[in-house]
Amino acid sequence: MRTTYSLTLASLILVNSLAVATAAPDLSKLPAPSTKTDLSFAKDIKPLFEKSCFKCHGPEKQKAKLRVDSLEAILKGGENGEILTKGDSKKSSVVVAIARLDEDSAMPPDGKGTPLTDEQIGLVRAWIDQGAK
Ligand code: HEC
């Protein structure tokens, strides 16, 4: 009887943690893309990343083997591959990261830098939707 109880409890805990680990981020919570047109990395995006990201993904440090200080480096991605899909910001892991939809991938990491505002995330989204130029 006690064994059955422990086993049930153990499998409940297991099922529960699997569900948490595989929970997909809720993309409906992403801030809307900006309506601005003609966005470019150098003019619109680089200044945002410079403030919030360069200290870990720039000339000095490359956490996760990622640099976000040039368009070329961003398109190359990090240790887990590409971080954006040109033309589709919802499929871009960098957008999920800066929107802080889940704690594990939130960028900058909790307490380690200035998070981007909704408006800035909207700009990054629009820039990717427009082809990441
Ligand atoms: C304080 C250091 C720090 C800052 C600031 C920071 N990151 Fe990161 N970043 C990390 C670390 C460490 C990882 C490796 C994964 C982890 O441990 O969470 C990472 C991983 C990533 C990844 C996943 C790359 C891959 O291939 O797995 C992306 C995308 C990313 N960061 C984007 C950004 C962006 C964009 C910013 C700025 C808005 C930013 N990061 C700011 C430390 C930082």
Span 68-115, pLDDT tens digits: 999 999 999 999 999 999 999 999 999 999 999 999 999 999 999 999
Q: pLDDT tens, 21-68?
A: 567 899 999 999 999 999 999 999 999 999 999 999 999 999 999 999
Question: How far apart are alpha carbons 37 and 26 in whole angstroms?
Answer: 26
Question: How far apart are alpha carbons 116 and 49 in whole angstroms?
Answer: 9
Q: Which of 57, 85, 98, 124 to mutate to test the pocket of ligand 1 (most atoms within 8 A of CB)?
A: 57
Ligand 1 site, residue 61, Cβ cutoff 6 A? no
Residue 76 CA to ligand 1 center (angstroms) comes to 14
Which residue type sits at 115? P
In this prediction, residue 2 carries a pLDDT of 63
Question: How big is the chain by its Cα radius of gyration, in Å?
Answer: 18
Band (15; pLDDT cuts 50, 70, 90): low
